[in-house]
Amino acid sequence: MHLTPLALTSDHDIPAPLLTELTALYASNREFHALSGDFPDPDDIRPEQVAVALADELANPGVEALLARSEGRLVGVVITLARHPDPADPDPWIGLLLIDAGAQRRGYGRQLAGLVEERFRAAGRAAVRLAVLDANPKGLAFWTALGYEVIGHRADLQLGRPCAVLRKELGEPPA
């Protein structure tokens, strides 16, 4: 798997072919979007909606969108935050990790999470956090299987949805 930052055009837009790929990836995750409410109609996710969602994320300082490709095919996207808006929270966050539904259950999610953890570890970060919607038991099972531990519960900052907050110690970078 190859991980690259989302590259925008000089006008700060997502190149059209890439936006088509991203829209297909987002649309393939109908079940997640139905429970998250991130899109008005999880059965009709449009390129302009994906572009706005990503632009809204990238407008925040320290946010990065990373694309995961396997054999040239876009199989995942992850949004990371260098720092949570709460100044008392020292850890970076994984804001979103999506794997194309047609490529799920092949280890891509585990591999992508590991690559993100390694990026944070290499940057000297000691741990990483994320939030899982309370209504997403599959997501909670995925993250806890990767060693993340629930450290609290609170509403998310965007829509006030109840979430479990998870954290994982990253340990020392390999010598």
CA dist 135 and 11 (Å) reads: 37
* Per-residue pLDDT at 89: 87
132 pLDDT above the threshold of 90: yes
2-169 CATH, one of 3.40.630.30, 3.60.20.40, 3.20.20.70, 1.10.10.10: 3.40.630.30
- Summarize pLDDT for 65-120 with one digit per residue, the tens: 999 999 999 999 999 999 887 888 899 999 999 999 998 889 999 999 999 999 99
Confidence at 173, pLDDT banded by 50, 70, 90: low
Confidence at 158, pLDDT banded by 50, 70, 90: confident
CA dist 106 and 53 (Å) reads: 27
Provide mean pLDDT across the span 9-22.
92
Name 173's Cβ contacts closer than 8 Å, sequence gap at least 6: 121, 122
* Per-residue pLDDT at 174: 59
**What is the domain partition of the chain in residue ranges?**
2-169
Length of the chain equals: 175
* Per-residue pLDDT at 175: 55
DSSP state of 39: S
Beta bridge partners of 128: 168
41 pLDDT above the threshold of 70: yes
